[in-house]
Structure 1
């Protein structure tokens, strides 16, 4: 175990491996890596970036951050890329985030604290703050994403997983639970969290371990995520019975989404924008059902 101290914090910390999959996202990856350099525990952090088949040039990021570990993973899917990073990670703690995320300075310090106790949780899920893309009036798609995009606390405490945009766990836990399911291009964090919960116990939500994540501001960006969700459900439960049950669950209006949209302050969105976002939210349910049934008739889940 590699241990060390930071300045006047007066505590010993283990080596932390931060694993980031990337696919055609060089500019935002650079912003993420800049934030990681500002971590209070940056001197005890190894950063592992796994290129998952990017067609754009990542060389500007490589040159700017030569101390990072740069890997490639040919198999499409962020979970295959994360597993590639796990395989070479040296840290006692594994921290996962995405190339479009902006970690707060004490993200790692707050995130690993529960994992260093005598009875650590199986994983930690930190806060994910959605950041709007501009100061202009929000589109219906962006308002929808702002309301429902990353309910991390509910996922950790009720569904028993953390989104890998902000998840930390002990390396020994990953060894016991096993790696992410590479057959899944979406929903692999939920599948892994369910295994961890059954084998070791519940995870823990830590509000102070925060990262920022940009909202999806256009309809195509939201529908891209919808396709991934439908594909993840297909990968987890590919049968016709599961497909019909999935569609039945998504046929009623999304009451939780309506309430979350309504709760957004009038300063952020006026009433008519909220109403348009609610209509958009209901429409995404029909898109989910359509994509799910299309996969049932033949096809393969994709990451885009």
Structure 2
């Protein structure tokens, strides 16, 4: 395949054909290789040594075209990305908080806007890795990091950390002031219910830790389908916690045929969850909009 040349490069994200991989520069040699390696490995001493040399200061601020997506046919997406952003992304991905702090200090020293380097990619890598300490380092430089929109629907970091089941990151974000009542951009979407609300996603997490943290911050249960979700996934300890905090055992979820938590448990064959709900007073004979009881749903699930 014909590799792109400098003459082919565009100043916006664009499609190219290349044999190189994601994270590589698109054209020429990678002048920032040693900087990226030091950041990726967490070698803060080596990074400081490099940044004490004028040529590496210049290199860190350069913006080569970098590949950020590739398909099996060799088609790649690339755009100008500063080597500082590249270094910060790999440091965040690998959980190197000291290196992140060093890179942010470098950015400030050289009058680089932090919003230009603390990007959606940096935040997503931090969440995916479960790196609470990285969020603390980022927030020390820019407290507004807790409000950066990171999802396709403008979701904020707290929403994504709960959805991706990263309780350590959730804890850090809450301590940093993230608001559980506004996890999505204001006006973009309501808090939602099953598989969309913060409390519903928390109830999918293993164990009640995330739900506990949200309840401690005053996050409501009503209308969030938290108990329905916990029942569907058989999260018994989370169910007990929610019922202790007054979750409605007969609440219906909009758009879900009038299902109660008992219906949700039955739909996935979670018999223990059904028994727990019954022990706390939930009705076994509640009918959904199709006239089906939880027992009928359970039978359908068992014979499917």
Q: Shorter chain as normaliser: what TM range?
A: under 0.3
Q: Which has the higher helix share?
A: 2
| Larger Rg, first or second structure (1 or 2) | 2
More relative contact order, 1 or 2 (CA 8 Å, 6+ apart): 1
Q: Which has the higher strand share?
A: 1
TM-score, L = length of structure 2: 0.27
